[in-house]
Every structure is written in C-alpha cells, then in structure tokens.
C-alpha cells in the first residue's frame, strides 16, 4: 500500500500499518498526520510481534530455551539449569507449547527473533567458510552463499544455539562437574564435534586469546564426554 493510500486510512489504523520503527520514523517527519496519530491513540490496535516463520518447529525449542536461559535469576541455581535443559531435551514440544507466542511478552518475542537473525547470519557465513575449505585448491569460488537444505540449515543453526546455551549456562566454569551429565551427554558424539566446528569457525571471528581459552575448556569437556567420564 502506498503512502498516498495510507493518508486516506482512519487515524487509528496508522500505528498498526506503520508499527515498525524503520518505516514509521521517515513517515512521521514527512506528514503531520502520521506525527500526531500516535499521540492521539492508545496503540490498542498495534499488532503484536510474531515469531519469524523461518524458525521451524524443530528450532523453536532451542530459541525459547536460549531466551529463558538469559532470564534465569542470577546467580544461577543448579536445579533451574537442569530443569531447563531437561525440558529442552526430554520435552521440546511441551517447552514450545508452554511458551507459545500468545503467552510470551512482546520483548521476549523480539529477543527470540533477534537471536535467530544472529544464528542465521552465522550459519550462512559458516557454510560459506566450510565450502571454501573443502573445495579443491585453485578452483574459482562463487561469492554467493551456499544454498543449504532444510536439514543442513537446522543442524548448523542447532549447533550455534547449543554453543550459545553452553556459554549462557556454563560460562565461567559454572557447574563444571555437571556439564557432561546435563548437557554434553545428551548429544551424539558427532553432534558434540559440531560444537567444536563452531568454535573453530569462531576462531576466525573473535579475539584469538579469548577463544583459545574457551576452546581448551570445550575440547577437554568433549574428550571427557566421549570417554564417558
């Protein structure tokens, strides 16, 4: 709908049609009607944010768990961490249903979408870096992002979500004795190796000294997990 058409809409419909700040800001400076409309309404008709459709049902439990992990009371309590991870791995459908979009506050929905955008961006870049590494030397590389299948995209995104969950819940050496039981042992060995691949990728993006410390700890934990310690 053009801006000319929007000018003919009832005043109360303007905030809903221009609810996103990126589109609303230019409009309010161009037209006095748009500028005054938010002042004259209670925003009762502004639409609620919705979870992005790209967040598939299989990824949604991870997206919700990550947001819930950031909102757990600090300092973290072992029972809360264990309960959240148990819900994620044992009852993911129930976790997603319990935190349906209708029950989540607007700021939490935006946080879920923002985190997914970060995961999706890193997934695309990770795929491009991986393709470049495995391609024969001297072969011309396309500058376009590789097209991932739905299964590949899910596995890549899931690995990034799990790494973020690991740092949110176990960063700084928290619950070092329980991390294998609560977290790593729930993954197949090759899924834990996916976490190592994510750390190798992050090594090209983060401070080398900081990442080296994180990688040493993660690889030690993976080694203990694979040996069943």
* 101 and 214 part of one domain: yes
* 140 and 30 part of one domain: no
User: What is this structure's pTM?
Assistant: 0.70
pLDDT at 200: 82
* 86 and 190 part of one domain: yes
* 35 and 65 part of one domain: no
CA–CA gap between residue 103 and residue 155 (Å, rounded): 28
* 21 and 94 part of one domain: no
* Cα 59 off chain centre by: 9
Q: How does pLDDT run along the chain (229 residues), one tens digit per residue?
A: 433 334 444 444 444 444 444 445 555 555 655 555 555 555 445 566 777 878 889 999 999 999 999 999 989 999 999 999 999 999 998 888 877 656 778 888 889 999 999 999 999 999 988 888 877 664 545 556 688 999 999 999 999 999 999 989 998 888 988 999 999 999 999 999 999 889 888 877 766 555 555 555 554 444 444 444 3
* 26 and 115 part of one domain: no
Domain region containing 203: 60-227
* 7 and 68 part of one domain: no
Domain count, the chain: 2
Instruction: Answer yes or no: is 45 within a domain.
Output: no
* 98 and 18 part of one domain: no
CA–CA gap between residue 171 and residue 80 (Å, rounded): 15
Q: Which H/E stretch holds residue 108?
A: helix 106-134
* 187 and 95 part of one domain: yes
pLDDT at 4: 37
Cα-trace Rg, the chain: 22
């Amino acid at each position: 709908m053009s801006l000319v058409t929007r000018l003919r809409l009832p005043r109360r419909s303007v905030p809903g049609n221009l609810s996103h700040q990126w589109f609303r800001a230019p409009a309010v400076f161009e037209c006095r009607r748009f500028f005054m409309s938010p002042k004259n309404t209670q925003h009762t008709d502004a639409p609620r944010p919705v979870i992005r459709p790209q967040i598939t049902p299989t990824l949604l439990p991870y997206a919700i768990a990550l947001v819930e992990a950031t909102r757990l009371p600090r300092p973290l309590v072992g029972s809360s961490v264990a309960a959240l991870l148990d819900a994620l791995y044992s009852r993911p459908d129930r976790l997603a249903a319990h935190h349906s979009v209708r029950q989540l506050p607007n700021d939490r929905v935006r946080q879920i979408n923002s985190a997914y955008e970060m995961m999706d961006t890193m997934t695309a870049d990770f795929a491009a870096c991986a393709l470049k590494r495995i391609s024969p030397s001297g072969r011309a590389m396309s500058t376009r992002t590789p097209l991932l299948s739905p299964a590949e995209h899910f596995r890549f995104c899931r690995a990034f979500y799990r790494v973020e969950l690991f740092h949110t819940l176990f960063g700084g050496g928290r619950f070092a004795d329980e991390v294998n039981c609560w977290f790593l042992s729930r993954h197949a060995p090759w899924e834990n190796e996916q976490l190592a691949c994510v750390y190798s990728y992050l090594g090209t993006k983060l401070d080398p000294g900081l990442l080296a410390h994180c990688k040493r700890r993660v690889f030690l934990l993976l080694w203990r997990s694979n040996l069943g310690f």
